[in-house]
Amino acid sequence: MKGIVFTEFLELVEDKFGLEMVDRIISSSELASDGVYTAVGTYSFSEMLQLLQHLSENTGISIDNLLLVYAEHFFSVIEKSYPGLLATYKDPIEMISSIENHIHVEVRKIYPDAELPTFEVIEKTDDHLVMDYTSSRAMHHFGLGLMNKTFEHFNSTATIELEKIKEDGTKVRFVINKN
């Protein structure tokens, strides 16, 4: 998992819960990195999972809800760092449906060894999108948060339903209806 995901996560934890919480979740975890991350480094997903689990235990917030909030924070990082990428699109459905064939292609140019989920478009109209998300990491709520912020970015709203195809969350269907 790319280091930027860790550095931004810990920045969010510090902003929302304080530096003491960052120290607490790092010291509670068994991290090969010792909790020292660089944006361009690559780290084990198990480290993120431990950090999320310990943050959830310390705050009483579910991991899914933490991922949702984190994704909303991460979208602002994308807005600041890659404004040209967002400017390519005029509509949230268009942007979300291009995750696999454009956005992830661009991510791989910057981070060639990034391990990204796959998104398969099942059905698409101007106001409706059905996509299947597949990832061994089951971070579907991170995807959901990014989708929510995408609609907000375009001053639009949508109803986004998440249906688990596999109970462990490694395959999920997103059904998106633009309002």
Q: Could you list the residue range(s) of the whole structural domain that residue 43 is in?
A: 3-61
Q: Among 61, 77, 108, give the residue marking a domain's end.
A: 61
DSSP 100: I
Pair 40, 80 in one domain: no
- Cα dihedral sign for 133, 136, 140, 145? negative
Lowest average pLDDT, out of 57-61, 80-84, 168-172, goes to 80-84
Pair 141, 111 in one domain: yes
Q: Identify whether the C-beta of residue 143 lies closer than 8 Å to the C-beta of residue 68.
A: no
DSSP 172: E
Measured in whole angstroms, the distance separating CA 151 from the mean position of its chain's CA atoms is 15
Measured in whole angstroms, the distance separating CA 86 from the mean position of its chain's CA atoms is 16
Residue 107 has pLDDT above 90, yes or no: no
Report pTM. Answer: 0.90
Across all residues in the chain, what is the average pLDDT?
A: 94
pLDDT one-digit tens code per residue, 50-66: 999 999 999 999 999 99
What are 2's strand-pairing partners? 42
CATH code of the domain in which 166 resides: 3.90.1520.10
Pair 159, 105 in one domain: yes
